[in-house]
Structures are given as C-alpha cells and as structure tokens.
Chain A
Amino acid sequence: MAATLPPSPPLLTLRRAAKSFGGVRALRGVDFELQAGEVHALLGENGAGKSTLIKLITGAHRPDAGEITVANRTLTGLTPALAQQLGIACIYQQPALFPDLTVEENIGLRLESSSPWQRIDWRARRARATELLRRVGAAIAPDTEVRTLSMPEQQLVEITCAVGAGARVVVMDEPTASLTHLEQQQLFAVVRELRTGGVGVIYISHRLEEIFALADRVTVLRDGASVGTHAVGDMTETTLIKLMVGREVAQLYPPSECAAGEIVLRVHNVGCAASGVRGVSFEVRAGEIFGLAGLVGAGRTELARILFGQTPADTGQIQLNGKSIAVRSPGEAIALGLAYVPEDRRRHGVILEMPIEENMTMAIHARIFPAAWLRFGRERRLALDFIRDLAVKCAGPNAPGGSLSGGNQQKVSLARWLATKPKLLILDEPTQGVDVGAKSEIHKIIRGLAQEGLAVIMISSDLPEILGMSDRIGVMRSGTLTTVLPGGSDASVVMAAALGQPQ
C-alpha cells in the first residue's frame, strides 16, 4: 500500500462494490481507485472478478451493494449511457466497430448526436476524424473501411473514439491479446500519450511483462475480492503471482490412490492451423487424471476439439492404445472410444428440450438400438441406472434436461458420454457454474472413473480444482503445451507457467 501519488481527488472510486450472479458471488466488496494520469493494472486469475468489475465501471451491470464515485458524483450504479456521459470508455479485445463502414463513419456514429432526419455534414465529420486520428498518432486515412484495418489499427480507432468523446477514464481489456510485438509497442506509446494527457487508464492483462512496462499501480483481485493495490515499482513477478494465487488448496478433493496403468493416449507434435494450436505432445495413462491448465484463450478447448475430431489436426500423430488414429469427426471419435463433455453444457452438452433419458442415449443409438428401432424400456433402464449411479436429482427420467440445476445437467451430460463406454474421457470445465455441493460430487465421480481405469483429461480454469484433482498437470500457453508438472505442484508454479514466467 506504499503507493504515493499527488493528493488530487481520484477520477473514479469504487467502495465495497459487490455483485452476484445467481448464487455465485462474482465480487464481494471490492475497493478500487483510479487517479488522473495513471495506468492502473488489474490482475487476477480467470474468474477472479476482473470482467465483472469492468462491467460495473462501464455500466453494463449494476452493483448489488457499494457505491461508485465518478467525477465527484457518488452513485449506486451506472448505466452505459451515464458512464459514457461521465467520460468512461472501454476498449475491448475485439473492437466493436462496424466493419463495412469507414473509419470516419464509425467515429461519427459514436460521437455525433443526431436526429434521424438531420443532414450529415460530411466535411465536418472528415475534419474531426482527421484531427482526432492525428491526436492519438494514428496513421489511418479516415475514409478507409474498417474491415481492411488490422487489429491494432481497429483498437486505435476505438481509442480515437474514446479520446474524441473526451473520456477521462479508459478501460482496456486485454488489448494486446492478438497483437504482434511491434503493434504492442505502438499501442503502449498511445497509452502513455493518454496518461500524459491526464487520462486514467485501467489496464487488464495477463502478461506480467506488460504490466511492468506500462503500469504505475496494480490491483490484484482474487475470488472476487481485492487483495491489495501496490505501486508496480514495489513488486516483482514472484510477489505478484503469490498475490494472485495465494490461498490454501482446500482438502476437498478425493485422493488419488491407484497407480497409473498403460498409456492410453499419446499425442505427438499435434497442431491445427485453423484453431491456433501447434506442437502439442503429451500422453495420458489409464487410471490417470491429466489436468490441462492455462489462461482463457491458451488453446485448451481448441486442443480438446482437435482430439475429438471437430477441428481435425493437420499436423502430428495421435495414438490410442498404441495404434495411430486419425479423428476426422466426432462420430469417428466416439467409435474409437473417445468422449468429450463440452464446456458449454447448456448449448452443447444437454439438449434442454429433450427428456433426460433421451439425452443420455444420444451418443449410443447404434449400440442400444441395433435394429434402429427404439426400445424405450431399455433406454429407461439405462437412464435409471445412471440417475442412481451419478445421483442425478430429477423428477424422473422423462423430465426435460432444462428442468435440472447446472450440476445435474452436467451429470446428464457426463452420463451421455459414460454410456459410450469410452477409453478416454475429455472433460472441459466440468464444474463451471456448478454449486459447491454438486461440485464435490462431480469430483468424486471423476476420481471414481479414473480408479476404474479410465484415462481422463480435465480442462479447468479453476486452479484449485486442477491442483486438487490432477495426477499430472499440463500447462498450455499461446496454443501450445509448454510444461507438464507433477500433481500436487504449487499453485504459483502452475500460474507462472500459464503466464509464461520462468520460476
């Protein structure tokens, strides 16, 4: 807390801001303060509450409790329109511009207030766009169509809009995620320019080196609470990582007991240009849970989609039980004995309109209905078995999938894939949005499956879950598997690997 800054009133202050979604507490009383002329970094694991905090600041969400002070006005919540009026602008990773309109048209749309029948003053619009672009140092002709611009140029246009709107607070959410090194440097120059002009910049990034290069102060969020604001100069990478993960891994996880068996899956140098995954090599043994850690966007789901044939690999080899396989579609993957419980269970895991029993047998029609004639009795028995084994809480096997809670939907999704009697089970965020009780039930089920000899790959952004469940931990970063760590590794080691920091 040693940050010393000139005692001018802060541009923006949040006091004990809290926000819950359903039963999940995304923010539990966060204090945050932004000074004029500073770059303030916001740091935290996936799900630590960064995006929620940003959404409170931009007015996308209202806080459940706490207050926001902007420009000496204390409010209980913002609306997007009010936030804009108060000079708050947000630049997202994916610029929200109209690709088929020109730069000046995009700028005009943001900045000009006009009635529907007002004549557009094209000359004034051009002049203003040119002037603003010059001010942020962007070498872009105002009559270029936005779709022809590169990603950083589009971000520059966003920044131009923010400057033109007289923004005092600029939020940048992982602006460099898709930029090359040189483009990054250009962007940094613009950010420094803004700072000099007295603008407060909230800068979100997973890349620690950027934070050290650019930010004046850093606030670390963990589990929806602020764990402190520090001057960047007082911090090292190690202390920052400690702050991000610094918690005990609760002893909630079922222990791993049996030794891993034969190698079930061997992946060698696998990549897919379309999904940005390259050079991934690892193996998974029977009876083992192989955790896949990494930041959002590191390529974990993309890797799973490759293994399951949704976006087939275009380089490398995959071996299943010692035999080389080529998986070109999910259908082939299922036939080979692979199963994939997808991330977005409400979209792809469970068909909400369909009864539980039909959901459970979706992937095994060919096996349980050999004559293509549905046998409802057989389906019902199978469903009842799974409902009992996985302790699915439901009104009955013919209740629609949509009537279940998140955790029980996940169990139905799991049952569908267990019904295929797979050799390898890939779980993508198996407990995302699931309440605590169901979460530990699902953990027990997963451990039990591994003990029965199934090879399990578990993707999770929940670091304690990865640490608690995995026998080995593969860490992905920028589309490739960079490190394989033993189970029970220290959280900061995994986080450092995910961030790409040597430890």
Chain B
Amino acid sequence: MAALGIVLLGLAIFAPAFFQPQPLLSLVTREAPTLIVACGMALVIITRQIDISVGSQFSVCSVCAGLLAARGWPLALVLPVSVTAGALLGALNGVLVAGLRLPSIVVTLATMVTLRQGLNLVRQGEFVNLPDNFQWFGLSQSAGQWTLVLTALLFLAGLGLALRHLAAGRWVYAVGTDAEAARLAGLRPQLITFAVFVFLGALTGLAAIMNLVQSPQVQPMVGAGLELKVIAAVVVGGVAISGGRGNLWGGFAGLLLLTCVSPALTHLHIEAYWEKAIQGAIILLAVVADGLRQKRLNR
C-alpha cells in the first residue's frame, strides 16, 4: 500500500501527464478483467492453493465466446456460456485438487499446458473476428469503458465485503490456515477448496468477456501470461502464499502497482525493456518483506 502511494506520488511529481483522464481510463479499463481474475485468485491462494491455468482458461473462454459471438449470438447468451465454461474448467482443477488431493501447482500446470496447446491445435493460431455490436457492449467507447471499470470495482467491493462478512468468507481463511482444524470444526475443507476453484473459473469466464468487448478480434493466445500477472498482484498485495492471510484490497493495490510500472516507464522515458524486470523486482521485494515479517513474528 505504501509502495503504491510512493509510486503514484512519484508519478504525480515527475510525470503529471500520467494522470490525464483519458489515457488513465484506458489503462484502467484494460486491467479491469485482470482485477476480476485477481479477486478469484486471491481466494484460491488464501485457501493455500494456486491456479496457474487461469491464463489458459481465459483463452479458452475468450475463443469460445468469440466463436459464438461471430455466429451472431447475443451478449446475453455469450456471457453465461463463457462463465459456465470457466466454471467447468475450474471444476476440473477443483476435482483433481480437492477430490484426489493432488498438489494444485502440478494439477494446474498440467491443465494450463493441456488447454493452451489443445486450443492452439484446434485454432491453428487463427483469429476470431468479432461482430461490431460487441464492441463496448454496443455502447460508445467511454460509456463502455466506464461500464467495465465500474463492474470490476463493484465486484471487488462486493467480494471484499463478502469475504469479511459472510460465514463462507471465514471458512476460506480457516481452510487456508489449518484444514484439519476446520474439518474438526465441522467444515468441509475439500468442498470449500473445490468451490474456490470453480469460483475462480467462473470469474475468469466473466473476465474473458470483459476483455472481448475491448477488441475487434480474439487471438487464441489472449490469456498467455495472465496467471503471472494475477498471482503477482495478489502476492504483492500481501496475500500470503502459505494461505490464510491477506485480503482483496491488498490484491487491488498490488495490481495497480504492477499496472503503473509500464506507463510510468514511458512517462519517465525509461526503456520499456525494464518493465518486466521491475515487475519481477517488485514481486521479489513483496515476498522478501513478507518473509522477514513472518520471521519476526515467529521469534
């Protein structure tokens, strides 16, 4: 949070152009789908699991939705299909992780590669052209952008509150901290784990649509690298990778911070090659800071 403040302040001083409304709105709009996925990822990480297949899920949902849209399906139908597709992919991970108790990192690594390569095989890298009425939900660009940004923020607020105020939210923390204790308290850790994977999948499906409406076409690799960004945002935002700790607000701040890097570089006239390196350094810093904090707590 403090880091985010410093970066924003630094930008305000050295690159006031960053805060021009229109480019900023575009920037935020581009990241709105990422924020949605990050919310779901935060839940998964709080339960002490991880899902690195979200990028591939995102691609699959996007392509499915794009194909249907190209055939003239209205958004009102494409959206639920995409969400359901995402939920099903999440359920596949969930069954393997919660049902068979396999380690989530291996399971989702496998589904990531399988989905990605399967999609490549089927689509042969071909783009899907989207009908015009899909752009910005058929609204004007700025209305569409605002819709997306507000949707994402509403989701963030709703989920953040739910995590704090619903019993289910507390279950997520309980399972992430000590699954056996949770089981003894009558909770069903495996079911809860399954549910967060399905939920993340569904959110990924939603995010795919939110991304779809921003461009005239979909390419099958659209989700590549998403998992990295999302996991990084969540971890930078203070959600402990060891489970049970952190919240969505942190994830939001983490995402903003990572997102600011690229435009900040542009405005500060630093070469864009530095972007990934700096993002990586931020992640490393966040993890080290958390590690040091943990060490102090344990002493």
Q: Do A and B come from one complex?
A: yes
Tell me, yes or no, whether A362 is within 8 Å of chain B by CB: yes
Which of A329, A334, A348, A416 interacts with B178 by CB under 8 Å?
A: A348
Q: Are A351 and B184 in contact (CB under 8 A)?
A: no
Bound Cα distance from A195 to B163, whole angstroms: 66
B297's closest neighbor in chain A, by CB? Answer: A402
Q: Are B181 and A351 in contact (CB under 8 A)?
A: yes
Bound Cα distance from A215 to B164, whole angstroms: 63
Asked if A351 meets B187 with Cβ closer than 8 Å, knowing A373-B165, A374-B167, the reply is: no
- B 162-183 contacts with A by CB, 8 A: 164-171, 173-174, 177-178, 180-183
Asked if A354 meets B174 with Cβ closer than 8 Å, knowing A372-B167, A372-B168, A374-B167, the reply is: yes
Tell me, yes or no, whether A349 is within 8 Å of chain B by CB: yes
Tell me, yes or no, whether B186 is within 8 Å of chain A by CB: yes
Q: Are B170 and A365 in contact (CB under 8 A)?
A: yes
Q: Are B183 and A351 in contact (CB under 8 A)?
A: no
Tell me, yes or no, whether B123 is within 8 Å of chain A by CB: no
Bound Cα distance from A68 to B164, whole angstroms: 57
A358's closest neighbor in chain B, by CB? Answer: B170
Tell me, yes or no, whether B245 is within 8 Å of chain A by CB: yes
Q: Considering residues B177, B178, B187, which has the most beta carbons from chain A within 10 angstroms of its beta carbon?
A: B178
Q: Are A348 and B186 in contact (CB under 8 A)?
A: no
Which of A331, A335, A348 interacts with B180 by CB under 8 Å?
A: A348
Q: Given the complex, which residues of A lie within 8 Å of B186, measured CB to CB?
A: 329-331, 333-335, 363
Q: Given the complex, which residues of A lie within 8 Å of B165, measured CB to CB?
A: 373-374
Which of A329, A331, A347, A372 interacts with B181 by CB under 8 Å?
A: A347
Q: Given the complex, which residues of A lie within 8 Å of B167, measured CB to CB?
A: 365-366, 369, 372-374
Q: How far is the CB of B190 from chain A (nearest CB, A)?
A: 11
Asked if A351 meets B166 with Cβ closer than 8 Å, knowing A340-B184, A342-B184, the reply is: no
Bound Cα distance from A350 to B185, whole angstroms: 10
Bound Cα distance from A363 to B184, whole angstroms: 8
Q: Given the complex, which residues of A lie within 8 Å of B171, measured CB to CB?
A: 365
Bound Cα distance from A100 to B294, whole angstroms: 35
Bound Cα distance from A350 to B182, whole angstroms: 10
Chain B contributes a number of interface residues (CB within 8 A of A) equal to 23
Asked if A373 meets B166 with Cβ closer than 8 Å, knowing A351-B178, A353-B245, A354-B174, the reply is: yes
Q: Are B181 and A349 in contact (CB under 8 A)?
A: yes
Q: How far is the CB of B13 from chain A (nearest CB, A)?
A: 39
Q: Are A362 and B166 in contact (CB under 8 A)?
A: no
Bound Cα distance from A308 to B178, whole angstroms: 18
Q: Are A353 and B244 in contact (CB under 8 A)?
A: yes
- A 363-416 contacts with B by CB, 8 A: 363, 365-366, 369, 372-374, 416
Q: Are B166 and A372 in contact (CB under 8 A)?
A: yes
Q: How far is the CB of A67 from chain B (nearest CB, A)?
A: 32
- A 295-337 contacts with B by CB, 8 A: 308, 310, 329-331, 333-335
Bound Cα distance from A350 to B181, whole angstroms: 7
B178's closest neighbor in chain A, by CB? Answer: A351
Q: Given the complex, which residues of A lie within 8 Å of B101, measured CB to CB?
A: none
Tell me, yes or no, whether B276 is within 8 Å of chain A by CB: no
Tell me, yes or no, whether B188 is within 8 Å of chain A by CB: yes
Q: Given the complex, which residues of B lie within 8 Å of A363, measured CB to CB?
A: 185-186
Q: How far is the CB of A421 from chain B (nearest CB, A)?
A: 13
Q: Are A347 and B180 in contact (CB under 8 A)?
A: yes
Asked if A351 meets B188 with Cβ closer than 8 Å, knowing A372-B166, A372-B168, the reply is: no
Q: Given the complex, which residues of B lie within 8 Å of A334, measured CB to CB?
A: 185-186
Bound Cα distance from A374 to B174, whole angstroms: 15
Q: How far is the CB of B298 from chain A (nearest CB, A)?
A: 10
Bound Cα distance from A325 to B48, whole angstroms: 34
B165's closest neighbor in chain A, by CB? Answer: A374
Bound Cα distance from A363 to B170, whole angstroms: 12
B181's closest neighbor in chain A, by CB? Answer: A348
Q: Are A374 and B181 in contact (CB under 8 A)?
A: no
Q: Are A362 and B180 in contact (CB under 8 A)?
A: no
A375's closest neighbor in chain B, by CB? Answer: B165
Q: Are B166 and A374 in contact (CB under 8 A)?
A: yes
Q: Given the complex, which residues of B lie within 8 Å of A310, measured CB to CB?
A: 183-184
Q: Given the complex, which residues of B lie within 8 Å of A349, measured CB to CB?
A: 181
Q: Given the complex, which residues of B lie within 8 Å of A329, measured CB to CB?
A: 186, 188
Asked if A351 meets B180 with Cβ closer than 8 Å, knowing A331-B186, A362-B185, A369-B167, the reply is: no
Q: Are B168 and A351 in contact (CB under 8 A)?
A: no
Q: Are A330 and B170 in contact (CB under 8 A)?
A: no
Q: Are A416 and B170 in contact (CB under 8 A)?
A: no
Bound Cα distance from A353 to B245, whole angstroms: 9
Bound Cα distance from A438 to B182, whole angstroms: 26
Q: Interface readout for B230-248 with A: 1 if CB under 8 Å, 0 if not?
A: 0000000000000011000
Which of A331, A340, A354 interacts with B173 by CB under 8 Å?
A: A354
Q: Are A354 and B185 in contact (CB under 8 A)?
A: no
- B 143-202 contacts with A by CB, 8 A: 164-171, 173-174, 177-178, 180-188
Q: Are A416 and B174 in contact (CB under 8 A)?
A: no
Q: How far is the CB of A159 from chain B (nearest CB, A)?
A: 36
A369's closest neighbor in chain B, by CB? Answer: B167
Bound Cα distance from A340 to B185, whole angstroms: 9
Q: Given the complex, which residues of A lie within 8 Å of B178, measured CB to CB?
A: 347-348, 351
Bound Cα distance from A77 to B107, whole angstroms: 49
Q: Given the complex, which residues of B lie within 8 Å of A354, measured CB to CB?
A: 173-174, 177
Q: Are B185 and A330 in contact (CB under 8 A)?
A: yes
Q: Are B181 and A330 in contact (CB under 8 A)?
A: no
Q: Given the complex, which residues of B lie within 8 Å of A342, measured CB to CB?
A: 184
Asked if A351 meets B177 with Cβ closer than 8 Å, knowing A331-B188, A334-B186, A362-B185, the reply is: yes
A417's closest neighbor in chain B, by CB? Answer: B185
Q: Are B168 and A362 in contact (CB under 8 A)?
A: no
Q: How far is the CB of A236 from chain B (nearest CB, A)?
A: 44
Bound Cα distance from A362 to B182, whole angstroms: 8
Bound Cα distance from A501 to B187, whole angstroms: 43
Bound Cα distance from A72 to B217, whole angstroms: 86
Q: Given the complex, which residues of B lie within 8 Å of A351, measured CB to CB?
A: 174, 177-178, 181
Q: Given the complex, which residues of A lie within 8 Å of B164, measured CB to CB?
A: 374
Q: How far is the CB of B194 from chain A (nearest CB, A)?
A: 15
Q: Given the complex, which residues of B lie within 8 Å of A331, measured CB to CB?
A: 186-188
Bound Cα distance from A47 to B209, whole angstroms: 63
Q: Are B166 and A416 in contact (CB under 8 A)?
A: no
Q: A358-B170, A374-B170 are in contact. List 12 more A-B contacts (CB 8 A).
A: A308-B184, A329-B186, A334-B185, A340-B184, A347-B181, A348-B184, A351-B181, A353-B177, A366-B167, A374-B164, A374-B167, A416-B185
A-B contacts, 18 of them at CB < 8 A, read A308-B184, A310-B184, A329-B186, A329-B188, A331-B187, A334-B186, A335-B186, A348-B178, A348-B180, A353-B244, A354-B173, A362-B174, A362-B181, A363-B186, A366-B167, A369-B167, A374-B166, A374-B169
Spell out B's residues near A (CB within 8 Å).
Answer: 164-171, 173-174, 177-178, 180-188, 244-245
List the 7 shortest-distance A-B pairs measured between CB atoms, nearest first: A334-B186, A331-B186, A362-B185, A365-B167, A363-B185, A348-B181, A372-B167
